Chain A
């Protein structure tokens, strides 16, 4: 029998607000344990939550960017369970009436038509703290993270392959980082995902029993975890077994999933509206304002780069991968008046150097204006493309203007025909045998002479002039 996988995703997006969702404590990562805490996030008796407006703004932006309907009135609920990292014995979340519902994203998997993926809901909630093990006689509780704001983005079970799931995750990741509401750091858990996976016979109308795979923290692992789980379930069913509803954990070392807890151990969370918080009312005005403040989203930007700058689709895709990169390119292109050259440089030399130095575009030592100046020098014929690469390297190291570097280092291109002719004559005289070979029809010797001339002129000769003059002399 052939099986059809059905996958749904729940993504936790950690918001990068300055303070926590229900108190004024800092959300800064890496502080001493329990330093960023107060009576509210410690869950002390008598403490009460007060909603951080910035969290609502972030949720609004995420909802609008994913085509969701924004609820005029939404409510917070308590999700009750006991765990030492959960100070109040309940998590404040949203259950009935979340802030965003009924959205969608359109994904594109290579070789397949675009596909629309439904987003069931986006809701706001607080994160828990964490347990610190290995402290000798027992474990510690660090509540610095308790109360950090999260968005939970729940998709419809619309995916039919791991590739679709990954395409969706990448797009969602790109959106929340574009919006500037999440730092997108998957290793530190700022963007994490649970996958609900089931399989059913092709053509069946009834969904199979699903397993929930917890906390998979890279795109690669998501793909591996889903693919493993699909084949595990298909093997199980093919052997006459049944899939049990359970929570499974992905092990990146083995590439497999293993059971964490079964259905019988599933919690009854006893959700009910949190009486400490009043219903959140979002006016049409507020939504309108948020809509206006929404930055240009990656798909729109990509399209604009194609039409406005005449870039190929591939370039537009690469350059819009992140918002700072796109902004860097756009600024360079604006000064350089040569968008394609700007694109080539940003995608080529710039990206390579960034990777080599382990820096991000945000702290690139060459500002867009300088890169544009460099492109101007190439356009004017002041330096060759090859020399420009050396100039770029020096700009990176020294932070100086390209023109100053060219001047200091004497790297300006030589377009004086007399000087070039003199060099050619010298080379031809010293290599008469090779010249004969060329003349007798071995045309690839031409490259040898170009190389020799450029070498003699320390690479600074105008390449077009070298070609032209050399051809005349050799033929002559």
Chain B
């Protein structure tokens, strides 16, 4: 049995029945990382010793009869989650040696169940990017084709699943950063509703859009992880005090009578033919199971990318002001005086894309431009939210592609930021509206690259998209296909 290929729920059964130990599983994962990561570069930090110690502790816990769903399961986190005592870099030179004094809430909840942390995963610096190329620690490669990017920004979180280096991972999604890499790497990626999961201890990119979510091998694992990380956190004022439903119980193979909307603005002429084919195939599968499809319209879709790049960068320009070398992180040496030290620190510590977005956002908030850019973008955001509210009056969920194309090649879009920004065109509106979306493997491209299918739900409608995703997964084998490494 290849332990590194198993799901959370499968491993849980084995651990619970004492058929394997967490130490065995963790060792298998660490071996797999050692074997594959020189080619993939999914990890920024591998915490082998701590992981083995945590696995031993989990085994003791299991031996005492306490085996929670995540006890002893080896996980890895995007390097945007603060982990006490283990460095958190956010893939930036700015934080290359930063060791946080506290744990992010999402990780703390998993840790309290006895989950094992294998290490920290690569990403675009400060979550700014769609390809994992903007990392101070080098690009992550797509396990399905190492000439291609895994997507981004949670590229490491998806690549580690595809390369079978971790049983499950957490990522963050600000404009598609979980769903797009999940799509490119053939895994399941869930972006919960804004406010469902605490952002405390997650390094902020764009606070009104950032949301934590799981990247997993199948839908059941996504539900299992969400179950643990969801819920109100008194330390995050924007986390919502709504009861957390039983997500695992919502996983029924039943879409009979479910009304699924197809937003016409997402099925445009010129959509990659492989993506179109994957969507047609998925629609056929769900229809066969009894779902009903109707066309809906989200008329303001076309403004979403522009709106996103104003709001996200405005918030980022402020969120990243704290990195100036005074209290933590990188500090430039040899500068004369305070202002020069701050400027030099930021010049050295941030990469090009981060600087580009800070400048964009600073501009959008500046006196004389605020109304025309930031305020206008907020108004457009309201219109985009209304589009979804309208659509959800007649349908239960929406079905769309995740990305316009399968994974692109490393370097292909790196020189053209605008092309890169457009790769998030189908995922960004979900963040702007604050609703939930899931990406899951659909029919691959003609040359064997994974293609993701996106299901979008109402605010706090995770159960419904999980149920539809689970039903789809039951009729397909795409999620079982493995990248050859």
Q: Give me the interface of A with B, judged by CB distance under 8 Å.
A: 39, 42-51, 78, 80, 82, 84, 87-90, 141, 268, 270-272, 275-278
Contact = CB atoms under 8 A, between A and B. Distances in A.
A46 B327 contact: no
B90 A89 contact: no
Contacts, number: 98
Interface in B216-242: 234-238
A43 to B, nearest CB: 5
Given A82-B342, A84-B324, 7 more contacts: A39-B102, A43-B322, A50-B237, A87-B326, A89-B322, A276-B237, A277-B238
B201 interface: yes
Nearest to A23: B235
Interface string B76-96: 000000100000101000010
A84 to B, nearest CB: 5
A80 B317 CA distance: 9
B235 A45 contact: no
A48 B202 CA distance: 9
A272 B312 CA distance: 13
A264 B448 CA distance: 60
15 contacts: A42-B327, A44-B102, A45-B98, A46-B202, A48-B236, A50-B235, A50-B236, A87-B326, A89-B318, A89-B321, A89-B324, A268-B366, A270-B317, A270-B366, A277-B238
Contacts of A278: 237-238
Chain A CB count within 10 A is highest, among B95, B320, B338, for: B338
Interface of B: 82, 88, 90, 95, 98, 100-102, 104, 199-204, 206-208, 234-238, 314-315, 317-318, 320-322, 324, 326-328, 338-339, 342, 362, 365-367, 370, 374
Chain A CB count within 10 A is highest, among B101, B201, B327, for: B327
B258 to A, nearest CB: 33
Contacts of B201: 46-47
B237 A277 contact: yes
B261 to A, nearest CB: 29
A49 B236 CA distance: 7
A78 B234 contact: no
Contacts of B324: 82, 84, 89
A276 B317 CA distance: 14
B90 A275 contact: no
A80 B321 CA distance: 8
Contacts of B365: 80, 270-272
Contacts of B236: 48, 50
Contact of B318 (A44, A50, A84, A270): A270
Nearest to A88: B322
Nearest to B82: A46
Contacts of A88: 321-322
B100 A46 contact: yes
Chain B CB count within 10 A is highest, among A48, A78, A87, A141, for: A48
Contacts of B314: 272
A276 B207 contact: yes
Contacts of A87: 322, 326-327
Nearest to B200: A48
B367 A78 contact: no
A78 B324 CA distance: 17
Given A51-B237, A84-B338, A272-B314, A46 B204 contact: yes
A39 B103 CA distance: 11
A38 to B, nearest CB: 9
Contacts of A271: 365
Given A48-B200, A82-B321, A88-B321, A141 B235 contact: no
B84 to A, nearest CB: 11
B318 A46 contact: no
Contacts of A141: 326-327
Contacts of A42: 327
B100 A50 contact: no
A270 B238 contact: no
A50 B322 contact: no
A475 to B, nearest CB: 88
Nearest to A85: B326
A345 to B, nearest CB: 52
A297 to B, nearest CB: 33
Contact of A49 (B101, B237, B327): B237
A90 B318 contact: yes
Nearest to A79: B318
A43 B318 CA distance: 12
A272 B88 contact: no
Contact of A48 (B237, B342, B362): B237
A44 B366 contact: no
Nearest to B362: A270
Contacts of B320: 89
Given A270-B366, A276-B207, A80 B318 contact: yes
Contacts of B200: 46-48
B82 A276 contact: no
A48 B235 CA distance: 7
B97 to A, nearest CB: 13
A275 B207 CA distance: 6
A278 B434 CA distance: 14
A42 B374 CA distance: 28
A50 B234 contact: yes
Nearest to B234: A50
B334 to A, nearest CB: 14
B318 A272 contact: yes
Nearest to B315: A275
B454 to A, nearest CB: 25
Nearest to A267: B367
B88 A45 contact: yes
A84 B367 CA distance: 23
Contacts of B322: 43, 45, 87-89
A51 B238 CA distance: 11
A78 B98 CA distance: 25
Q: Which 10 A-B pairs have the closest CB atoms?
A: A89-B321, A275-B208, A270-B365, A275-B207, A46-B201, A45-B203, A268-B367, A46-B82, A43-B322, A84-B326
Given A82-B342, A89-B324, A272-B318, A46 B104 contact: yes
Contacts of B202: 46
A93 to B, nearest CB: 13
Nearest to B343: A82
A46 B238 contact: no
A277 B374 CA distance: 18
A45 B237 contact: no
B120 to A, nearest CB: 14
Nearest to B101: A39
Contacts of B367: 268, 270
Contacts of B374: 272
Contacts of A78: 318
Given A80-B321, A80-B365, A276-B237, A45 B326 contact: no
A271 to B, nearest CB: 8
A320 B350 CA distance: 59
Contacts of B199: 46, 48
Contacts of A48: 199-200, 235-238
A301 to B, nearest CB: 39
Nearest to A50: B237
A89 to B, nearest CB: 2
Nearest to B328: A44
Contacts of A45: 82, 88, 90, 95, 98, 100, 203-204, 322, 328
A13 to B, nearest CB: 24
A275 B366 CA distance: 17
A90 B204 CA distance: 14
Nearest to A39: B102
Nearest to A278: B237
A270 B319 CA distance: 13
A84 B340 CA distance: 12
A141 B338 CA distance: 12
Contacts of B101: 39, 44
Nearest to B80: A46
Nearest to B239: A48
B180 to A, nearest CB: 22
